[in-house]
Amino acid sequence: MREIIFDTETTGLDPKSGDRLVEIGCIEMVNRVPTGETFHCYFNPDRDMPAEAERVHGLSISFLSDKPRFHEKAADFLEFIGEETMLVAHNAGFDFGFVNSELEMCGLPPLSRERMIDTVAMARMRHPGAKNSLDALCTRYGIDRSHRTRHGALLDAELLAQVYVELTGGRQIGLSLAAETQAIEVTTLSVARRTRPFRPARPHAASEAERAAHAAFLETVKSPVWND
């Protein structure tokens, strides 16, 4: 099963008010295992970068000014995610909203919400009442995020991929399949040979008294078959 874990960075919170997508990072997973295939791109938003947004992700307009516009990379992005692959994001409605806004501006159809898997909703069901930010989930599951000093789409997608594995069964997933396919190790037990003391053969010849008693018993048998 192929899935795409992705994250976005933007100029703000609402594409309807003119905020734009400035970074997207995607991680390919097959059967909950990262394949090493990624898609990552920065975009020139053709607008200013609010200071509060820059404090979150550190992407300045100066840095983004020579980057491609979304429409220049839209085909590559859509090719990477495919047409039916499920798309996993943290607070996925936010990311879908920005991606679909950019696609609309390119004259392209939006991503279907039926493809959306929201890890925030999953975390709330699994840990009701707890903090379910990406940082909090990394802490809960022991995922190293020490290198995450600021938000970054590809880095956050990599962390989310690990969180998603934990939310969907953890590293125990697939153990039943592994048990069926692994070779069974057979251990040969060595039994130590016991040392027995020597015993001579027991005498087995009948005594005169035993032979006499046997003959007397035979006399009592009526019509013995050995006389036929």
102 close to 131: Cβ distance less than 8 angstroms: no
Contact assessment for residue 32 and residue 2, using Cβ atoms and an 8 Å cutoff? no
Selecting among 71, 147, 151, 214, the annotated active-site residue is: 151
Angle 51-53-56 from CA coordinates, rounded to 5°: 110
Task: Look at the block and give the residue holding tokens 């997608």.
Answer: 157
β-partners of residue 39 are: 26
Question: Could you give the CA distance from residue 34 to residue 157 in angstroms, rounded to a whole number?
Answer: 11
Greatest alpha-carbon span in the chain: 127
Q: Name the phi and psi angles at 207, rounded to 5.
A: -80, 170
7, β-bridge pairs: 25
Say which residue the tokens 């959306």 belong to: 116
Cα–Cα nearest to 49, from 38, 60, 41, 63:
60
The sheet with strand 21-30 has its strands ordered as: 33-42, 21-30, 2-10, 86-89, 116-118
Residue appearing with tokens 């990477």: 80
Q: Is 151 one of the catalytic residues?
A: yes
d(CA 218, CA 115): 97
Where in the sequence numbering do the catalytic residues fall?
A: 151
